[in-house]
Amino acid sequence: MTTDKDLSMDGQSAMAMFAAKGIDVTPNKDQGVVKVVKRQGVDGERPMMGDRVTVHYTGKLLNGKKFDSSLDRKEPFSFNLGKGQVIKAWDISVLSMQKGEVCTLLCKPEYAYGSAGNPGKIPPNSSLLFEMELLSFEGEVLTDDGGIIRRIKVKGDGYTNPNDGATVDVHLEGSCGGRLFDSRDVRFTVGEAEDKGVPLGVDRAMEKMQKGECCILHLKPKYGFGREGKPEYKVGPNKDLVYEVTLKDFQRAKESWEMDLNEKLELASGVKHKGNQYFKAGRFHQAIIQYQRIVSWLEMECGVGMEQQKRIQDFLLISQLNLALCFLRLKEFSHVVENCNKVIELDGKNEKALYRRGEARLLRNEFSLAMADFQQVLQVNSSNRAARAQISICQRKIREHHEQDKKIYANMFQKFAEYDAKVCRRNMAVIKNKTKQKNE
């Protein structure tokens, strides 16, 4: 990146340079942000709305006074583009840059700190000069595991998003390895996109989108068509997918607080059935969405009368148990234990919850805890043969673990003994040599 020398001109000289070489990058072409490219970047993609961008920058007033610099801190600065995390001039100008590009920006007050300024640094109504280098950019990560990455081509309108259960109208274009395999308009319910052949990743991204938004979604196999692939689209197993999605319209579903208890209980039956269908089809992620919906509706409800309270508890118990089973299939054992614990809080002698928690703990190599769970199962139902078999497995695993520990410690002590013997021999040799020298 260039140096302070490049921003050391006075205000009049700066205005002359930008008038001669500058490019107006504002959408309205009102000269609010003018850019002069000092070093061209790498040809290729430019950042998009929502991308995580990393830059180096130096900011100065028109009189040449520096007020901030990432270079002085020796630390690049990162932010999410178009999210209002930085001044408006930055959100606009970085969209026009390429990776490696260095440019100088002249920003009017309304695109910088406006009439308020930044007390102690920037006076009110100040135009500012920035020199900026775009170091890198990457799409917005929508999931903790990095399985869904979004890049926004066209920003949507408003501040509302589709919620779980909303009805959405979208245009989809799906591709795999550069080959377009799906292009259509489709309507689906958020949380049930699988019914229309739409992958989980597109479904999950809906709750982040706004009406009119067009984005590109990069989906890992878990959020695409998984290990099975999609033969009708000629997409093989474990393939990364790219979807261009335009949210044309949506109708939000009622939130939990907008429904009374009777409505929730009525809807819960259908949602449970839908979850069971997904589970039987091996669509565990989709089943989880359905069961979690029931829990979110009912976990804070008390009910009126014994009958209603029992219906609430029955729905919660079956939903938590089914969630535990889904997570067990997905090998997400901490979630299995968490959901089983919630069942046991409601019903301390629930055989299925104790057994499934034991299975998860056994697979986490928590053999003693697992054995305690299976023993509790036998206290509830002494004829549970599976629990007896699991106890035998736990006992064998505990013995194997102890034997392994004994070998580790035996080898450790053997090495200590060998080391001590070696040191002793060396010390004896030293003493012998000194005695010999003394006698001579």
Residues identified as active-site: 57, 67-68, 87, 113, 130
Question: Rounded distance, CA 189 to CA 295, Å?
Answer: 19
Nearest to 53 by CA among 141, 150, 142, 138: 138
Beta bridge partners of 247: 170
Q: Which amino acid is at 393?
A: I
Tokens of 11: 């205000």
Task: Name every residue whose Cβ is closer than 8 Å to that of residue 112 and which is 6 or more positions away in sequence.
Answer: 87, 88, 89, 122, 126, 127, 128
Q: Which amino acid is at 223?
A: Y
Q: List for the chain the helix, strand, coil content (%; round to 5).
A: 45, 20, 30
User: Is the torsion defined by CA of 367, 370, 375, 381 positive or negative?
Assistant: negative
Task: Name every residue whose Cβ is closer than 8 Å to that of residue 341 and which is 6 or more positions away in sequence.
Answer: 357
User: Could you tell me if residue 152 is left (phi over 0), alpha (psi between -120 and 50 degrees) or otherwise beta?
Assistant: beta
Q: Which amino acid is at 84?
A: G
